[in-house]
């Protein structure tokens, strides 16, 4: 039962992260750029829809968290899954903006960095893809050099035969 609650809490946190990021993107790309009344109304409908999904994910997580406590989860699990506060439900769009001036002072909620080492370890496809990309870049450099060698070889013999 505890493992099911942990899995459901993970899913809820993932959904919450996606909803928060989606909300930030909608604010930056739709709400702020809306020029007419109808565009603003449509943009705010999108924000309200995202807000309702965020609230639903938060309710699911809070119930899972309470169930984990009731089931006697060990302290390591409870430090991993912390209490979700209302202040965690907001996000600063400067944290997602690449060249923003104040993003170094913006603090993301705890669940954004919940398991970075495990996530990077499980992305073996990323390292394999990078290795293949590096191999093809090296192959391209070698082929370009070999083509230049062939051209130089033929130019040398053309000068020699004249």
List pLDDT tens digits, range 14-44.
888 888 888 888 888 888 888 888 888 888 8
Residue 145 belongs to domain spanning: 125-162
**Residues 154 and 100 reside in one and the same domain:** no
**Residues 138 and 114 reside in one and the same domain:** no
**Residues 34 and 96 reside in one and the same domain:** yes
* pLDDT of 121 above 70: no
Lowest mean pLDDT among 11-25, 73-87, 97-111, 135-149: 97-111
Write down the residue that tokens 């009731």 correspond to.
70
Average pLDDT of the chain?
79
pLDDT tens-digit readout, 40-94: 888 889 888 988 998 898 899 889 888 888 888 888 777 777 777 777 677 765 5
37-70 and 2-26 are packed helices; what angle lies between their axes, rounded to 10 degrees? 160
Quick one: tokens of 11? 């899913």
Tell me how many domains the chain contains: 2
**Residues 49 and 82 reside in one and the same domain:** yes
**Residues 82 and 158 reside in one and the same domain:** no
**Residues 85 and 131 reside in one and the same domain:** no
**Residues 91 and 109 reside in one and the same domain:** yes
**Residues 138 and 90 reside in one and the same domain:** no
Q: How far apart are CA 8 and CA 25, in angstroms?
A: 26
Q: How far apart are CA 46 and CA 39, in angstroms?
A: 11
Q: How far apart are CA 67 and CA 2, in angstroms?
A: 8
Q: How far apart are CA 148 and CA 46, in angstroms?
A: 57
**Residues 115 and 162 reside in one and the same domain:** no
**Residues 50 and 116 reside in one and the same domain:** yes
* pLDDT of 13 above 80: yes
Give the per-residue pLDDT at 73. 81
**Residues 64 and 105 reside in one and the same domain:** yes
* pLDDT of 99 above 70: no
pTM, two decimals, is 0.56
**Residues 112 and 54 reside in one and the same domain:** yes
């Amino acid at each position: 039962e505890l493992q099911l609650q942990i899995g459901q809490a993970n899913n809820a946190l993932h959904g919450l992260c996606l909803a928060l990021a989606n909300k930030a993107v909608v604010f930056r790309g739709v709400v702020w750029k809306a020029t007419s009344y109808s565009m603003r109304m449509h943009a705010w409908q999108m924000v309200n829809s995202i807000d309702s999904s965020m609230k639903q994910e938060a309710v699911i997580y809070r119930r899972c968290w309470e169930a984990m406590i009731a089931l006697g989860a060990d302290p390591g699990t409870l430090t991993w899954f912390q209490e979700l506060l209302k202040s965690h439900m907001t996000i600063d769009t400067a944290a997602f903006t690449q060249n923003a001036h104040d993003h170094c002072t913006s603090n993301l909620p705890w669940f954004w960095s919940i398991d970075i080492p495990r996530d990077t370890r499980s992305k073996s496809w990323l390292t394999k893809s990078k290795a293949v990309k590096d191999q093809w870049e090296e192959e391209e450099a070698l082929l370009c050099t070999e083509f230049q060698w062939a051209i130089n070889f033929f130019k040398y013999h053309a000068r020699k035969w004249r």
